[in-house]
C-alpha cells in the first residue's frame, strides 16, 4: 500500500516543481525538444539508461527527448560538448563515473571541469560489479582468493576492461585493502576480457553482473562477491566484498543526469522531481534490476555531494596505484 502513496507523492512533487519552473507571464519550460548527451556509443548500457528515462520524460514534459550518443575519448568529447551547451535545461548530460570521478585524475588537462561546469540533477543507475574467477583457481570465497594471492604474489592475472575503468579501479582498491599483488591485463572492452577469462588465460576479474551471470550459472566462471554496498537482486546468494572481510569496500559504475552550470535552479528542481518519479516506476526498476543495476533517488544537493566524494575516492586509488592514461 505504500508504493501507490509514494508514486502519488512523487507525481505531485514533479507537477509542482514543473509549475514552479513556469512562472505566470514568464517563459515556460520546456519550450523545445530536450537533448541528452551520452558519452558512450549507441547500444551500450549508458544509451539504454538514457532512453529508458528519456522516453518517459518526453511523455510527461510534452516535448521530445533526443538521445545524442557521442562515444570516444573516454567520455571527454561528449562532456566538453555538454559543458559548453546553453544552460537552459534543454540540454542534459548523462554523466558517469568515468567523466566525473576518473578522467580528472588520468589526464593532466581536461577541456571541462567536472565540478564547476556541471550541475548534478539526479542519479540514473548504480551498477555494481562482480568479482569472478576461473574455475581453475582454488578458491570459493574472497578470503580464500586473498590467501592464494598472498602465497603467489604477482602470479594471478586479473583482466580489466581498460586502463582507468571501474573494472581496474575496483581490483586496485581490493588489492590495496587486502594487501595482495595481482598482475593487471588490460583489454579494450568487456568482450575481449571475457574471452580470456573463459579460456583461463586470465584468472580474476571485476565485470558487470549481467554479463557474468550466464557464465557463472553454466559453471564456466565462479562468482565470489559483488562490489556494491548491498547484495544484488540479480544474484542475492552472492555476498558483497564488504561482508566478505573488507568493510567499507564499495564500487559501482554509475550514470546520472546533469546540466550545464548556470541552468536555473527552478529548472533543476523540476527535472529532479520528474526524474525521481520516473526512477520509482516499477517498470524502470525492473528493467534496471534485470541488468543487475538499481535506481537511487537523490536531491540535486545529495547527488552533487556524491559526485565530489567519488572524485576524492578514486583520486586516491589512482594516485596510489600510479595509474596513467595511455
Measured between alpha carbons, how far is 171 from 167 in angstroms, rounded to an integer?
Answer: 7
> In this predicted structure, what is the pLDDT of residue 282?
96
> Around 156, how many Cα atoms within 13 Å sit in the side-chain half-sphere?
25
129-244: CATH superfamily:
Periplasmic binding protein-like II (3.40.190.10)
Q: What residues does each domain of the chain span?
A: 2-127+252-321, 129-244
β 91-96/222-226 pair status: unpaired
DSSP summary character for residue 62: T
Q: Do domains 2-127+252-321 and 129-244 have the same CATH topology?
A: yes
> In this predicted structure, what is the pLDDT of residue 251?
96
Cell 546520472 locates to: 256
CATH code, residues 2-127+252-321? 3.40.190.150
> In this predicted structure, what is the pLDDT of residue 216?
95
Which pLDDT tens digits describe the chain residue by residue (326 residues)?
Answer: 333 444 444 544 455 555 555 544 345 899 999 999 999 999 888 999 999 999 999 999 999 999 999 988 889 999 999 999 999 999 999 999 999 999 999 998 999 999 999 999 999 999 999 999 999 999 999 999 999 999 999 999 999 999 999 999 999 999 999 999 999 999 988 889 999 999 999 999 999 998 899 999 999 999 999 999 999 988 999 999 999 999 999 999 999 999 999 999 999 999 999 999 999 999 999 999 988 899 999 999 999 999 999 999 999 999 999 998 86
Give Dmax (Cα) for the chain: 72
How many CB atoms neighbour CB 248 within 10 A?
9
Q: How many helices (H) and strands (E) does the chain have?
A: 12, 9
3-state secondary structure of 32: coil
> In this predicted structure, what is the pLDDT of residue 325?
83
3-state secondary structure of 209: helix
Q: Which residues, other chains included, contact 10 with Cβ-Cβ below 8 Å and sequence gap of 6+?
A: 273, 276, 277, 280
3-state secondary structure of 284: helix
> In this predicted structure, what is the pLDDT of residue 34?
98
β 118-133/204-208 pair status: antiparallel
> In this predicted structure, what is the pLDDT of residue 190?
87
Burial class (CB in 10 A: 0-12, 13-18, 19+), 326: exposed
Amino acid at each position: 500500500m505504500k508504493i501507490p502513496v509514494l508514486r502519488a507523492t512523487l507525481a505531485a512533487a514533479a507537477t509542482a516543481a514543473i509549475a514552479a519552473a513556469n512562472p505566470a507571464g514568464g517563459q515556460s519550460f520546456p519550450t523545445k525538444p530536450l537533448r541528452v548527451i551520452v558519452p558512450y556509443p549507441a547500444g551500450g548500457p549508458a544509451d539504454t539508461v538514457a532512453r529508458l528515462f528519456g522516453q518517459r520524460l518526453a511523455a510527461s514534459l510534452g516535448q521530445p527527448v533526443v538521445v545524442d550518443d557521442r562515444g570516444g575519448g573516454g567520455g571527454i568529447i561528449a562532456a566538453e560538448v555538454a559543458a559548453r551547451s546553453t544552460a537552459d535545461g534543454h540540454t542534459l548530460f548523462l554523466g558517469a563515473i568515468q567523466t566525473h570521478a576518473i578522467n580528472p585524475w588520468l589526464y593532466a588537462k581536461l577541456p571541462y571541469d567536472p565540478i564547476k561546469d556541471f550541475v548534478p540533477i539526479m542519479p540514473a543507475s548504480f551498477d555494481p560489479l562482480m568479482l569472478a574467477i576461473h574455475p581453475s583457481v582454488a578458491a570459493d570465497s574472497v578470503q580464500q582468493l586473498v590467501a592464494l594471492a598472498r602465497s603467489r604474489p604477482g602470479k594471478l592475472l586479473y583482466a580489466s576492461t581498460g586502463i582507468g575503468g571501474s573494472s581496474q579501479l575496483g581490483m586496485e582498491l581490493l588489492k590495496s585493502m587486502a594487501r595482495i599483488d595481482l598482475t593487471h591485463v588490460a583489454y579494450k572492452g568487456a568482450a575481449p576480457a571475457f574471452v580470456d577469462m573463459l579460456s583461463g588465460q586470465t584468472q580474476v576479474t571485476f565485470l558487470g553482473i549481467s554479463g557474468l551471470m550466464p557464465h557463472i550459472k553454466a559453471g564456466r566462471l565462479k562468482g565470489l562477491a559483488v562490489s556494491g554496498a548491498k547484495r544484488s537482486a540479480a544474484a542475492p546468494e552472492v555476498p558483497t566484498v564488504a561482508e566478505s572481510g573488507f568493510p567499507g569496500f564499495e564500487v559501482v559504475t554509475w550514470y546520472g543526469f546533469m546540466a550545464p552550470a548556470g541552468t536555473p535552479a527552478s529548472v533543476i528542481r523540476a527535472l529532479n522531481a520528474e526524474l525521481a518519479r520516473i526512477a520509482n516506476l516499477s517498470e524502470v526498476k525492473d528493467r534496471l534490476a534485470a541488468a543487475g543495476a538499481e535506481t537511487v533517488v537523490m536531491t540535486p544537493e545529495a547527488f552533487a555531494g556524491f559526485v565530489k566524494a567519488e572524485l576524492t575516492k578514486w583520486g586516491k586509488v589512482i594516485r596510489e596505484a600510479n595509474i596513467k592514461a595511455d
